[in-house]
Amino acid sequence: MGSQQTRIPVGIVGITGYTGMELLRLLLKHPVFELAAATSRQEQGKTIKDIFPQIQDQAAADLEITPPDPERLGDTCRLVFLAVPHGTAMDMAAKLLDRGLTVIDFSADFRLRSAEVYERWYATRHVQQHLLSEAIYGLSELNAEAIKQARLVANPGCYPTSILLGLYPAVSMELISSSSLIIDSKSGTSGAGRAAKLDMLFCEVYDNFKAYSLGRHRHTPEIEQELAGYAGGEVTVTFSPHLVPINRGILSTMYAHLSPEADPQSIREAYVQFAGEHSWIRIMPPGRLPQVKMVRGTMFCDIGLVVDERTGRLIVVSAIDNLCRGASGQALANANLACGLHASTGLDLSPLVP
Amino acid sequence: MGSQQTRIPVGIVGITGYTGMELLRLLLKHPVFELAAATSRQEQGKTIKDIFPQIQDQAAADLEITPPDPERLGDTCRLVFLAVPHGTAMDMAAKLLDRGLTVIDFSADFRLRSAEVYERWYATRHVQQHLLSEAIYGLSELNAEAIKQARLVANPGCYPTSILLGLYPAVSMELISSSSLIIDSKSGTSGAGRAAKLDMLFCEVYDNFKAYSLGRHRHTPEIEQELAGYAGGEVTVTFSPHLVPINRGILSTMYAHLSPEADPQSIREAYVQFAGEHSWIRIMPPGRLPQVKMVRGTMFCDIGLVVDERTGRLIVVSAIDNLCRGASGQALANANLACGLHASTGLDLSPLVP
Amino acid sequence: MGSQQTRIPVGIVGITGYTGMELLRLLLKHPVFELAAATSRQEQGKTIKDIFPQIQDQAAADLEITPPDPERLGDTCRLVFLAVPHGTAMDMAAKLLDRGLTVIDFSADFRLRSAEVYERWYATRHVQQHLLSEAIYGLSELNAEAIKQARLVANPGCYPTSILLGLYPAVSMELISSSSLIIDSKSGTSGAGRAAKLDMLFCEVYDNFKAYSLGRHRHTPEIEQELAGYAGGEVTVTFSPHLVPINRGILSTMYAHLSPEADPQSIREAYVQFAGEHSWIRIMPPGRLPQVKMVRGTMFCDIGLVVDERTGRLIVVSAIDNLCRGASGQALANANLACGLHASTGLDLSPLVP
Amino acid sequence: MGSQQTRIPVGIVGITGYTGMELLRLLLKHPVFELAAATSRQEQGKTIKDIFPQIQDQAAADLEITPPDPERLGDTCRLVFLAVPHGTAMDMAAKLLDRGLTVIDFSADFRLRSAEVYERWYATRHVQQHLLSEAIYGLSELNAEAIKQARLVANPGCYPTSILLGLYPAVSMELISSSSLIIDSKSGTSGAGRAAKLDMLFCEVYDNFKAYSLGRHRHTPEIEQELAGYAGGEVTVTFSPHLVPINRGILSTMYAHLSPEADPQSIREAYVQFAGEHSWIRIMPPGRLPQVKMVRGTMFCDIGLVVDERTGRLIVVSAIDNLCRGASGQALANANLACGLHASTGLDLSPLVP
């Protein structure tokens, strides 16, 4: 498979986190991309199989992990995935773009079009503001054409992915009042990253459930910016994240008042049409609701619809895998598009159940 | 301990479920109540230690499980806890009351004051409607005086317990608009009971997260009935339950528009005053939110408050243990009150962390 | 993919269990096999997407589930996977063989060569004893040549798979004393099947750990039979299964006295050679031990070796995914071989971590 | 309760770990001991409720955490629990003993009678060797008389507690061959402590199972030392720890050849007699095996017995809660004895199930 096709060399900057690990899982099965470089300051000098024993037997297992040197990445790669924290990503992105590479950035550094909003929510100076207008927000269902032309793709946040896909039909077709949005999201623990922090220890998370960052989570402006684009006007949301004691998965429960003209059938039709155009969107049949296990390890976004006639509200429930659909898989879809491949290349994934 | 005091004989009808099991845990340490009868149709003839090996060494271990015979219960008990399904409970309650016993009913049969509402939501004929006006809704913080006089206590549902305690100060003091309530609750799996159902198998629940019964959960009318009492007028809520892959715990995240006159300080003061009067209510300090592990195995209801000034909303987060505070512990508090004891007798419990 | 190749129609008898579900996951990505029939007594008349919402969008989603009729299976399939309980499987296998089909049987009905041993351990009459001599034990690393010729493959048990692969080099090369074997195995909960049983409820298994069936688990004679073949003489083992509160995975810790001539280096060499010949066997480097997450969803058997010089023992630790490697994936490898394909066709799987 | 009795002031050195947290849970319900000092270098200056929000409402909540100053501890406490790492503990113990306090040490520093063995297994110089002969090994069932006289109690390791209680009757009565012992133990994750380490993150442990430190775990010499005392001669064991993805609980599965004179009945009698003398030991009825959930949060050690007649082996399975019985609860029992109280004072605990 792919033997007739020239392989495209790609690099991962920041391979040791969960998103790097997931991207590696997907790249190793990709028919066109070939892992040519993997970097990590902490683990440099080791090979991939030293840090990820699960892939000791694969082609990439003996690849040496190097420090993140833009020069060297420029020499060996055509495209680079940046899986490093916000703040760090912006400079590296600029250097790689200067060397002619395509960059898919996992961080928030290029997601917000306003540097001022970025600096307020992230408490970080944006020192590459000239790139903001060029960066494409990489929600592949909605921005595919722009991504195909992009040099710099801002890969969406995991929560925003689950929320934007869940609300797009209702907001863009004005089936709900965009001023009344309440979003109650629940995420698996891999969303917190792979840093050794006390509150992410097994014994702190297991058999527990909690809310966090209510009213002040950094994904809020990203959600509002994109929804405003769909709505054609400013949108303010209440966004409440919660931590679920599982590894993967985000379930977002979203509430809004129905528009006067909306009825259960028109709502369902709008969503079914959206799903008809995008193979990773699946609308649950009436009476069924999504579950995170049904999308585990895949690119699917499963959406359930409930019209609560007693209160005049639409409740949308969406489920994604935060690491695959909400991060690394989506980055790979964006890389596919940016390299002229079909978005789904190497991403025809089935959930592991149970 | 308690040796000077006459022990009060009590019975449990329906001991094999999780609420029966939890009640047993608590009763075995109670200084006044003495387990005199335990019934189960399925397990009759066995002893308690046969079905609950964890208590093989305690005083009650050799008590024989009997069929649920009102006559016999009337002879041996002064008070009976009914831990059987709705529909079944109403007749047994009537028979036990006829024999002069006090009844603490775990089911929904006597929670709703309107038989018509009950019949609509539970799809069950109410054949003991004459008892509805007599039954006291057993939320011990709010109805203690009535419970002290009660023959029949309707023990609150687990979700309503977490929600009513979380909203009482805001609703009763008109700090929020009661017409805008959205309640997003998350419950551990023991809330689903101990019946052998496919969708409650370990492999179906583990590493999963889902919403269920959106807009149609049977606890909705109970929540609305009680909130209406606090608000002094009708209340309609959107109530969305979710299933968390843990054993115990409910976390409810509740959203409402702030009243024009409400401000962060007045809200906090109202809650702190409520907690000051009721030792099981604990208000988190500013910036902290509750976690279910902090209340595991206890009677506490931990409450966190977030005023989201961007959207003009109050977010209240409450956490309880659904089996203890939300069922068996609360039943025991009600039994204490109904028998002239202090509500907290035998209920001075500390959480097991981690 | 595979468009040039004629697709081979296959059937699954008993699709509703976890092994049926896993087989479906794998078959849907298989380049040659095509699901032509799926049966279940309970769910007949429904489609596959009705019972497995995770695959609502795939080609097989609309396939109707039928009752298990050998006639119809004979007409539509060339090979059938039998994922039904022991006792039931033997008759169905006989009928399908009569109709010229190849049968891969997941049950224990054809694993033991002695009908007498089968009847003693399974407390079931064997009514198809004439087939026992023909059935091939489907451990694909060791019996590939025979499986290629087989009409009837007895797919190994999940525990035996982890144990036999872990012990083969040591036993066959006489590096340990086969009379001293103690096997302490730990399995995820999907191994218990998908029947609605009280002791498999989430709340019974979660946050718990236990041993079961010590000294009398039915996989014992299967382990002893196969080890005896490797050892060239009778073998008796102590086999102790335990239940781990996770979905998938078996880890077996195996203890034996070292033979006088064995030393750490010769042992490692024997295992490394075994792994060199079989791509799904991976030997951990010195100082590393296997973990079930590193093999999740795959065909790998990861093996760790510890020579305990203080006690003169070899400790072998092996890890597999019980559903994939230990059941459905192995069945598919056997089907591949029996149909003239490479064993690994459609089975180039990577673990999902985390 | 206890109002007539003078309270005994005690201190905890190292309160921030899981054993400190568990000890606090137990001390807050203790009728005689009163928490007078709690130390932590990292958290000094905070109050207990700052670091453990679960106890914000209790008497001790406002106690200030201080640095570990022996002088100050000597002034305020009569007894101190040392919950600090080995190496650190030995000096602090010496200083506290010098000031006339009783010391219950959670570390390994005084468990091994031979300084040479300690230094070899722990790679740490023992600089308080003169205290080794004085220290009492605090397994309260077996050493109660000595503990009553002790100034310095070496609290047993969690694994050794589960193993020694499980093997004592068989070894001391020579029902098994002590030279053939294989011990396969499985521990919940709290046993690894509360340090922020990558491999203890939720996503690394959850849905996983592994063995670790095979043949070289530091509890090995402690197990062998104590078993040698029961056996009246040297004992060498194979000890294999495993990590279970749960918070609490150790289950040890222990294998040994039966002595010629042992038979199932004599074995059961020996264990039942042991349990008859010690109320925390519970022997499972024939055919039943222990589960960690049945002892969660308690002092019980549940023991199951299987005589495997096919292989001539005894299999003993024991279950304890590693934090309570295996650490803090046991320390409290030792403190009780050392202060002239009944061992079980404040330790009449019931398991939380589910």
Q: Tell me, what's the ipTM?
A: 0.96
Looking at residue A307, its amino acid is V
| H or E element at residue D94 | helix D88-98
DSSP character string of B33-81: EEEEEEE-TTTTTSBHHHH-GGGTTSGGGGPBEE---HHHHHHH-SEEE
Mean pLDDT of D107-118: 98
Mean pLDDT of D173-181: 94
Cβ-defined contact of C190 to B206 (cutoff 8 Å): no
Mean pLDDT of A16-41: 96
Q: If interface means Cβ-Cβ distance under 8 Å, which residues of chain D face chain C?
A: 182, 184, 186, 188, 203-204, 206-212, 214-215, 236-238, 240, 242, 244-247, 249, 251, 253, 255, 289-293, 296, 304, 306-308, 310-311, 313, 315, 317, 319, 354
For residue A1, pLDDT beyond 60: no
> Of the candidates A194, A198, A247, which has its C-beta nearest D206's C-beta?
A247
How far A53 CA sits from the closest chain B CA (Å)? 23
Interface test with D, best of A202, A247, A353 (most D CBs within 10 A): A202
- Residue in chain A closest to C281 (alpha carbons) equals A57
> Of the candidates A54, A207, A294, which has its C-beta nearest C54's C-beta?
A294
Residue A192 pLDDT level (bands cut at 50, 70, 90): very high
> Of the candidates B212, B246, B304, which has its C-beta nearest A209's C-beta?
B246
Distance separating alpha carbons of residues D236 and D177, to the nearest angstrom: 11
- Neighbouring chains of D at 3+ CB pairs under 8 Å are A, B, C
Residue numbers in D near A247 (CB within 8 A): 202-203, 206-207
Give percent of chain A with pLDDT exceeding 90: 95
How far A63 CA sits from the closest chain C CA (Å)? 17
Interface test with A, best of B120, B121, B177, B184 (most A CBs within 10 A): B184
Q: If interface means Cβ-Cβ distance under 8 Å, which residues of chain A face chain D?
A: 18, 189-190, 194, 196-198, 200-207, 245-247
Q: Which residues contact B61 (CB under 8 A, 6 or more apart)?
A: B47, B48, B49, B55
Give percent of chain A with pLDDT exceeding 70: 98
- Residue in chain B closest to A215 (alpha carbons) equals B308
Cβ-defined contact of A201 to D203 (cutoff 8 Å): no
Name the phi and psi angles at C297, rounded to 5. 75, 15
Name the phi and psi angles at B259, rounded to 5. -70, 155
> Of the candidates B189, B190, B203, which has its C-beta nearest C247's C-beta?
B203
Residue B346 pLDDT level (bands cut at 50, 70, 90): very high
The CATH class, in words, for C159-322 is alpha beta
Residues of chain C with pLDDT under 50: 1-3
Cβ-defined contact of B209 to A291 (cutoff 8 Å): yes
Q: Does the predicted model carry a pTM greater than 0.95?
A: yes
Q: Which residues contact D123 (CB under 8 A, 6 or more apart)?
A: none
Q: Which of C77, C158, C301, C324 is catalytic?
A: C158
Cβ-defined contact of B352 to D296 (cutoff 8 Å): yes
- Residue in chain B closest to C208 (alpha carbons) equals B247
Interface test with A, best of D43, D189, D203 (most A CBs within 10 A): D203
Residue numbers in C near D246 (CB within 8 A): 207-209, 245
- Neighbouring chains of B at 3+ CB pairs under 8 Å are A, C, D
Residue numbers in C near A21 (CB within 8 A): 353-354
Cβ-defined contact of C351 to A25 (cutoff 8 Å): yes
For residue B65, pLDDT beyond 80: yes
For residue B58, pLDDT beyond 90: no
For residue B268, pLDDT beyond 50: yes
Distance separating alpha carbons of residues B316 and B307, to the nearest angstrom: 9
Q: How far is CA C52 from CA A298, A305, B160, C46, in A?
A: 16, 19, 33, 11
> Pairing relation of β-strands B182-187 and B238-243?
parallel
- Residue in chain D closest to A203 (alpha carbons) equals D247
Mean pLDDT of A319-348: 98
Residue numbers in B near D18 (CB within 8 A): 354
* Amino acid D327: pLDDT: 98
Residue A192's nearest CA partner among C354, B315, B304 is C354
Q: Do domains D8-134 and D159-322 have the same CATH topology?
A: no
Q: Are B184 and A267 in contact (CB under 8 A)?
A: no
Residue D1 pLDDT level (bands cut at 50, 70, 90): very low
Distance separating alpha carbons of residues D18 and B121, to the nearest angstrom: 46
Cβ-defined contact of D214 to C317 (cutoff 8 Å): yes
* Amino acid B56: pLDDT: 74
Mean pLDDT of B265-278: 97
- Neighbouring chains of A at 3+ CB pairs under 8 Å are B, C, D
Q: What is the mean pLDDT of chain A?
A: 96
> Of the candidates C203, C207, C244, which has its C-beta nearest D209's C-beta?
C244
For residue B1, pLDDT beyond 50: no
For residue B124, pLDDT beyond 70: yes
* Amino acid C342: pLDDT: 98
Token code pair at residue C264: 């750490």
For residue B57, pLDDT beyond 90: no
Q: Which CATH topology does B8-134 take?
A: Rossmann fold (3.40.50)
Residue numbers in A near B304 (CB within 8 A): 211, 214
Which pLDDT tens digit goes with each residue over A270-327? 999 999 999 999 999 999 999 999 999 999 999 999 999 999 999 999 999 999 999 9
Mean pLDDT of A84-92: 97
Interface test with C, best of B203, B205, B248 (most C CBs within 10 A): B203
Fill in the DSSP letter of residue A284.
Answer: P
- Residue in chain C closest to A323 (alpha carbons) equals C354
Distance separating alpha carbons of residues A156 and A111, to the nearest angstrom: 7
Distance separating alpha carbons of residues A243 and A148, to the nearest angstrom: 35
Residue D83's nearest CA partner among D109, D58, D64 is D109
Q: What is the mean pLDDT of chain B?
A: 96
Give percent of chain D with pLDDT exceeding 70: 98
Chain-centre distance for alpha carbon C221: 15
Catalytic status, residue D158? yes
> Of the candidates C54, C57, C294, which has its C-beta nearest A353's C-beta?
C54
Residue numbers in C near D251 (CB within 8 A): 209-211, 242
Token code pair at residue C123: 């407390």
Architecture in CATH for domain A159-324: 2-Layer Sandwich (3.30)
Beta strands (DSSP E) in D274-324 are 281-283, 301-308, 313-320
Which pLDDT tens digit goes with each residue over B323-338? 999 999 999 999 999 9
Cβ-defined contact of C202 to B207 (cutoff 8 Å): no
For residue B41, pLDDT beyond 60: yes
* Amino acid C4: pLDDT: 55
> Of the candidates B182, B289, B319, which has its C-beta nearest A212's C-beta?
B289
Which pLDDT tens digit goes with each residue over B130-162? 999 999 999 999 999 999 999 999 999 999 999
How far D238 CA sits from the closest chain B CA (Å)? 30
For residue D178, pLDDT beyond 80: yes
* DSSP 3-state of B102: strand
Interface test with D, best of C208, C234, C294 (most D CBs within 10 A): C208
Distance separating alpha carbons of residues D36 and D64, to the nearest angstrom: 10
D195 exposed, middle or buried (CB, 10 Å; 0-12, 13-18, 19+)? Answer: exposed
Q: Where are the domains of chain D?
A: 8-134, 159-322
Distance separating alpha carbons of residues A265 and A270, to the nearest angstrom: 9
* Amino acid A56: pLDDT: 74
> Of the candidates D189, D203, D204, which has its C-beta nearest A203's C-beta?
D189
